[in-house]
Amino acid sequence: MAPTNRITNPDGSFRCFQMDEDVFTKLSNNDGGICTDCGETASNVESDARKYRCAACGAHRVYGAELLLVAGRIEFLDECGSAITEDDDA
Ligand SMILES: [Zn+2]
């Protein structure tokens, strides 16, 4: 089970991941990435990796953690479990 919550757009396409900030920090510090197709985390991924193959689902959708953050595809959760965003369009 990936320690992330994969959020999709109404049409089912990938929107972002929600996770605790310390989960992200561990990912980032360990050359981690995340598959935007299934949400599984990957290791030994460069921070700016793009379209690496996912070991879990086989899709070439693994992106480096830092790249996802810069792209605005990661939202951090506070201790209550709600997302902290400045521009939530909900
Ligand atoms: Zn995958």
Residue 52 CA to ligand 1 center (angstroms) comes to: 10
Beta strands per DSSP E along 1-90: 5-8, 14-20, 33-35, 41-42, 62-64, 74-77, 83-84
In a 3-state reduction of DSSP, which class is residue 8? Answer: strand
pLDDT at 1: 43
Q: Which domain holds residue 67?
A: 5-79
Task: Specify the number of domains making up the chain.
Answer: 1
**Per-residue confidence (pLDDT) for residue 81, from 0 to 100:** 58
Is 18 inside a domain boundary? yes
| Amino acid 82: pLDDT | 64
- Please give the model's pTM, rounded to 2 decimal places: 0.82
Ion ligand 1 neighbours (CB, 5 A) are 35, 37-38, 40, 54, 56-57
Domain membership flag for residue 86: no
Q: What residue type is assigned to position 66 of the chain?
A: E
pLDDT of residue 85: 62
Task: Give me the pLDDT at residue 77, please.
Answer: 86
- Is residue 41 included in any domain, yes or no? yes
Residue 85 lies in a domain: no
Within a domain: residue 89?
A: no
Low-confidence ranges of the chain (pLDDT < 70): 1-2, 79-90
Q: Any idea how long the chain is? A: 90
Q: How far apart are CA 78 and CA 61, in angstroms?
A: 27
**How many angstroms separate the alpha carbon of residue 48 from the centre of ligand 1?**
17
Distance from Cα 76 to the centre of ligand 1, integer Å: 21
